[in-house]
């Protein structure tokens, strides 16, 4: 069996393309999703890629899902693609706390939640690849996207710090 990859937000758009390429390259891929079961089933039938429904914005969900994936496949996750993301665009002075929290939870907290759920086993194995999908808006900002830009800026800092912490353990971020 090749490497095992988990792609969050991996049943549509960029995530689906990444999952398909990883499969083409010989990985066993699991794509997570949170909402549209019908689209996820359609994606799975089309690609042969297993899907797993869980909300990566919540730590306990991630721990449980990672454990289930690893038990089901009989091995630890080698490659993690943090791709889960949403937008709820609105000028800050009109943005609700719920819109802010939803984007931060899905786009930023999910990255910690899933990465934290796989990092210890990667360190023990002395191998891991963690890819987090960013945006230019994390560097330059964007009108109506204070929540999204904040999450993507946090992703950049998180990735740099985790890379430094784990490079000596054979993990690239």
Catalytic residues: 148
Structure tokens at 141: 């900002």
Residue written as token pair 């091995």: 75
Distances (CA, A) of 70 to 37, 44, 89, 150: 22, 18, 36, 32
Structure tokens at 64: 């449980």
3-state class percentages of the chain: helix first, strand second, coil last, to nearest 5? 55, 15, 30
Buried b or exposed e, range 15-34, using 16+ CB within 10 angstroms: bbebbbebbeeebbbbbbbb
CB 73 within 8 A of CB 52: no
């Amino acid at each position: 069996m090749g490497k095992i990859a988990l792609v969050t937000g991996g049943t549509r758009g960029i995530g689906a393309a990444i999952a398909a390429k990883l499969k083409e390259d010989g990985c066993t891929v699991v794509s997570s999703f949170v909402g549209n079961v019908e689209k996820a089933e359609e994606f799975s039938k089309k690609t042969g890629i297993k899907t797993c429904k869980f909300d990566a914005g919540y730590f306990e969900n991630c721990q449980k899902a990672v454990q289930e994936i690893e038990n089901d496949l009989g091995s630890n996750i080698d490659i993690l693609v943090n791709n889960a993301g949403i937008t709820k665009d609105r000028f800050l002075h009109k943005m609700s706390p719920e819109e802010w929290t939803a984007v931060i939870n899905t786009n930023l907290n999910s990255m910690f939640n899933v990465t934290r759920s796989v990092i210890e086993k990667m360190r023990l194995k002395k191998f891991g690849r963690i890819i987090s999908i960013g945006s230019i808006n994390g560097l330059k900002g964007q009108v109506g996207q204070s929540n999204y830009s904040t999450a993507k800026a946090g992703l950049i800092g998180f990735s740099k710090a985790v890379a430094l912490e784990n490079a000596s353990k054979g993990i690239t971020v």
